[in-house]
Every structure is written in C-alpha cells, then in structure tokens.
Amino acid sequence: MSTIAHARSHAVTHAWRGVLAGIGGGIVFGVLMAMTGMLESVAMLVGADDAIIGGVVHLIIAAAFGLVFGLVMGAYSDKVWTLLGAGVVYGLVLWVVGGLMIMPAWLGMEMFVFDQMAWMSLAGHLLFGIVLAGTMFALSKGDA
C-alpha cells in the first residue's frame, strides 16, 4: 500500500471512530439535556420546539464534532491522558463558541450570558469532551 493510501486509510478510520465517539458523547450529554429541558432549545435551531427533534439535531452536531476530533486527535488515540486533556479543552471550546456565541446568536438571543443554564451547558460540554475522548481511546484498543 502506498504511503498516501495508508495515510488516507488511517484518516478514514480516525474519522469514523470520531463519529462513533461523538455519538456516544452526544448521547450522554443528551441525557443531561433531556433532564434539564435543553433539547427543546436545540430544536429551535431548525425551527421546531420538540425534544425529540432537538435530540436528533444534537446527535448530528455531536457526530460532526466527533468527526473533527477524530481527524485532529486520531494520531494520539493510544494516549489516554492526551486524549482526555484534549477532550476537556475541546468541550470548553465548544461551549464558548457553540453554547455562548453561535446558538444564542442563531436564536436571536444575547451572547455570553452566564446564567444557570449556561453553567449546566458547560458541564454538559465538558462531559461530552471526556466521553468523546474516552470512547476514541476505547475504540483504538487493539491497534498495533
């Protein structure tokens, strides 16, 4: 196999692992969101107000962010502490950019509001990053 083909094969593997890990993290974060009534807010991103639609939208977003994480961090998938640290940082960045900026702006709300919901969102995004990273590590077990 050529070097380019080998690299492409690794990138595809890392991407798929990222997608699966993102869905795993999204499910865990989604449970927290369901318990706090936040899924309806996510549904508003697509003009709906139903928690099920919000859950589907949330999982699609989680899979996409997992794919990015997999491509960026896939080469470190055998280094658990590196992945977990990156997962925490990634969750924090997603909270600031997505939770405090993009989502409120998209919905016509004020950005950078630090209320109780924002702090629960931070906890959820950090949890997402940790589960994402841990799942990436678990999926890479057995690689030679």
Residue 34 has pLDDT above 60, yes or no: yes
Residue 128 has pLDDT above 60, yes or no: yes
> How many domains, in total, are found in the chain?
1
pLDDT digits (tens, 9 = 90+) for 48-71: 999 999 999 999 999 999 999 999
Residue 1 has pLDDT above 90, yes or no: no
The angle formed by the CA atoms of residues 61, 62 and 63, to the nearest 5 degrees, is: 90
Q: How far apart are CA 104 and CA 95, in angstroms?
A: 12
Q: Which residue segment(s) compose the domain that 89 sits in?
A: 1-142
Q: Are 19 and 59 in contact (CB under 8 A)?
A: no
The predicted model scores a pTM of: 0.92
